Structure 1
């Protein structure tokens, strides 16, 4: 099956008829359909399929006559879940391209000397349970199931229950990466670097450190009409000023700070709220810069709270340090096609595997708008096919 045919198969799964965006949350019906699609695609290619107790999957292309039995494998792939009302390309492009690259290599008559695996990691976005790259974190041991299972989604569903309801059981085991020698993830670019360079494919140099922080603002609920402005203890005001402070601090430092999610109680039109909970996404070019940015925002929020008669507590829910991909591997891969080496501010499973000590690289495919995590996310078909060829060339080099 061609790349185009596979892309058509995935196109309607989890897509909103109103916005055109995707809601492919893990351990839901849409995600189960995607997992079934990958199972069928892997088995149709004769790949040796592994599915673990979390829903992580790998389809292995084993050498018929390995030149040196026991050589570590080459793993590729990405994820199939999405952010809320997300785009079509973030994640699925890497999975479909990996399957298509296997087809290309076979059409070329290529015979790998070491295993090639096509992987799908679950809950990469962290959109449901708040911890990005959850599947790869559990597989590498960066997070423990005993802790992760107690996480709750927006509806109060525990992760352990969601996984069980999907017919999965982590006690049966997780994928082993002991026999993986390197990992290459293809991904749509989340930015305009390749557009500015006028090239279709790039290689990643690093991932900026980033984190998610919960800001809990508490005050006093009261009547919106009868309560004088000077008598209010309004946490919404404290939040608003903190959001403005985040914007200013990030701009001054040349970094990134975003409050993109908000919960208000009691959430009434005619009531001063008693509580506002907001989530900050912060990203910086260095670990020290990230700590300084979050500290500055928290400090200004606390100072504002003291003036408003409110309180603020800050909790780090998910923090990932800086990742520098294997520089020798990046240079080798960039040399295949003369591709540029560029940084990324977005987190990926590749970063988790790299932090676990696995030599890791990433390929990016040009995004003409630079928009991501949105229904407007896009890549031209010609660039997608160029990405498939680039990935096939990369796998051929690494598996020879």
Structure 2
């Protein structure tokens, strides 16, 4: 099956007719359809497909127990109304790259696996990379069991409803010990390649990043009868904090985003009693990130005090800077540039990935495919057909260099 036919087959799954974006959330019907698609692709190619204790899918060529395997893939879930390429491009390209290697008559000297990591985006339970975090021991079983979606459904309840055993989740060092290298292909979430005119690039590092919850607590009251001077309005403090986040990020050359908000009682004619906002912030280095978040929190506390509002700030997740394995990164750049003699772009990214989580346990690297608009986490996310094919061929070249004789 060609890249194009696989892409066309997966494209409708979980797509919203209203927004044109995707709602492939963990342990939902759309997620189950994606998993079935993955199993079908593995079976069609004669690969042994299994789902590990944390809900990640693996399709194996060769004996997994042999060790030193080369693994590639990504994820199939999405953010709310996300684009088609973030995640699925890496999985579809992995199957297509295997097809290309077989077409070339490549002889495999190491086991090869294609993986679909579960719940990478964290759209349902609020924590990114749950499947890979559990596998790598970066998320405890206790903390995973506490994860809850917007409807109050816990992660164990969702897994059980989908037919999986939540009591089995946890670190999987034996599985990771089989992996000699992990290479993830991903659409670029930015415009660096578009600006250089390159179809494919190699990742150098993932910026440190985290998510913080700001709870502004005021006093609910009538919107029409309460004097402005008598209000303890948490929305005012929240709004001013959003503006402060933009200022602090600009000063540090970083990014900071309040992209999610919950309001109580959420009435048009009611002053809120609670405004809960989630901050996502990322920077090229730890010092810059600390400066941004500290500045935002300091401003938020000043605004809250001025409006008679209480404020709690909770760090919900954090990932330090990830330097991809230098030897593997350099090998990717060498392989991709050997036929042309051209220098392959090596670039950092502010987006988190399963490769970043796994890097603490196994050598990891990433390939990026050009995104002409730089838009991601949106239905407008895109990549040209020729660039997608270039990505497949680049991944095939890399896998051939790592896994074949």
Asked if the contact 1:130–1:318 (Cα under 8 Å) also holds between the matched residues in 2, the reply is no
C-alpha distance in 1, partners of 2:246/2:22?
A: 28
Q: Does 1:223 align with 2:222?
A: yes
2:106 maps to 110
155-164 vs 140-149, which moves further? 140-149
> In the alignment, which residue of structure 2 is the partner of 1:383?
387
Q: Is the 8 A contact 2:134 2:169 kept in 1?
A: no
Please give the alpha-carbon distance, in whole angstroms, between the structure 2 residues aligned to 1:171 and 1:392.
37
Is contact 1:54-1:163 (8 Å) kept? no
Please give the TM-score of this superposition, normalised by the length of structure 1: 0.97
Task: Give the 5 Å matches for 1:338-377.
Answer: 338=337, 339-356=344-361, 358-377=362-381
Give the direction of change, closer, same or farther, for the CA distance of 1:256–1:173 in structure 2 (3 Å limit).
closer
Matched with 1:141 is 137
Q: Give 2:44's aligned residue.
A: 44
Residues of 2 paired with 1:52 and 1:330: CA distance? 27
CA distance in 1, matches of 2:387, 2:37: 24
State which drifts further: 82-91 or 137-146: 137-146
Q: Are the equivalent residues in 2 in contact too, given 1:214–1:314 (CA < 8 A)?
A: yes
Structure 1 residue 328: Cα displacement: 1.9
After superposition, what is the alpha-carbon deviation per residue over 1:271-321, rounded to whole angstroms, capped at 9, x for unaligned?
111100000000011122222211110111001111100011100111111
- Alignment partner of 1:154 out of 150, 155, 158: 150
Is structure 2 residue 184 aligned with structure 1 residue 193? no
- The answer to whether the 8 A contact 1:212-1:279 is kept is yes
Contact in 1 for aligned 2:141/2:169 (Cα 8 Å): no
The whole-number CA distance in structure 2 between the counterparts of 1:312 and 1:288 is 24
CA offsets 1:94-149 (integer angstroms, 9 cap, x no match): 00000111110011000110001100001101111111111000011111222201
TM-aligned CA deviation for residue 48 of structure 1:
1.5
In 1, are the aligned partners of 2:206 and 2:321 still within 8 Å (CA)? yes
Match of 1:319 in 2: 318
Distance in 1 of aligned mates of 2:127 and 2:243: 25
Alignment pair present for 1:264 and 2:275: no
C-alpha separation in 2, matches of 1:258 and 1:71: 42
List runs of 5+ in structure 2 lacking aligned partners: 338-343
Instruction: Please give the alpha-carbon distance, in whole angstroms, between the structure 2 residues aligned to 1:243 and 1:81.
Output: 28
What is the aligned partner in structure 2 of residue 233 from structure 1? Answer: 232
In structure 1, the partner of 2:287 is: 288
Q: Which residue number corresponds to residue 253 of structure 1?
A: 252
Indicate the residue corresponding to 2:69 in structure 1: 73
Residues 256-276 of structure 1 deviation map (CA, whole Å, 9 limit, x = unaligned): 000000111111111111100
Q: Which residue of 2 aligns with 1:209?
A: 208
The whole-number CA distance in structure 2 between the counterparts of 1:154 and 1:272 is 22
Indicate the residue corresponding to 1:164 in structure 2. Answer: 160
The reply on whether 1:19 has 2:19 as its aligned counterpart is yes
Query: Per the alignment, in what secondary structure is the counterpart of residue 359 of structure 2?
Result: helix
Q: 2:397 aligns with which of 380, 393, 397?
A: 393
Structure 2 residue matching 1:303: 3-state secondary structure: helix
Question: Does the 8 Å contact 1:185/1:362 carry over to 2?
Answer: yes
Count of matched residue pairs? 395
**SS of structure 2 residue aligned to 1:226:** coil
TM-superposed CA distance for 1:71, in Å, is 4.7
- Separation in 2 of the partners of 1:225 and 1:51? 56
In the TM superposition, what are the counterparts of 1:56-67 in structure 2 within 5 Å? 56-62=56-62
Shift of 1:70: 3.5
Aligned alpha-carbon RMSD (Å)? 1.3
- Whether contact under 8 Å (1:219, 1:233) holds in the other structure is yes
**SS of structure 2 residue aligned to 1:355:** coil
Per-residue CA distance 1:157-199 (angstroms, 9 max, x = gap): 1111001000001444666211101100000000000001101
Is the contact made by 1:264 and 1:275 (CA closer than 8 Å) also made in structure 2? Answer: yes
Shift of 1:355: 2.1
User: TM-score by structure 2 length?
Assistant: 0.95
